[in-house]
Amino acid sequence: MTEISPEDSNVQILVDNPTASEWKRNTYMFGAFLGAVFGILAAYFYARAAEEEVQRTGRKSAVPTRQILGLGVSALTLIRQITEMGKSK
């Protein structure tokens, strides 16, 4: 039986090939860009709503812990759905 060394395997070829890992770098860059845009928009809309609340009531209302936990669970669900997109069906 012939033994295949790491140098001969397709896996090693993919690792050594810069164009094969380019898709990974592009994916990270695209994800970082989308995350930054989403984060900036979320912060903008939150600040705008909080400012309207201050103008309306004279004070900024506190964000309930339950709402923060709900957002965290929603974020984890979104990450899981994005991860599932990367798997073959």
Confidence of residue 74 (pLDDT cuts 50, 70, 90): very high
Contact 37, 30 (CB under 8 A): no
In this prediction, residue 21 carries a pLDDT of 84
Confidence of residue 60 (pLDDT cuts 50, 70, 90): confident
User: Which residues are CB-neighbours of 73 under 8 A, at least 6 positions away?
Assistant: none
3-state secondary structure of 61: coil
Global pTM reads 0.66
Of all residues in the chain, the percent with pLDDT exceeding 90 is 62
Confidence of residue 43 (pLDDT cuts 50, 70, 90): very high
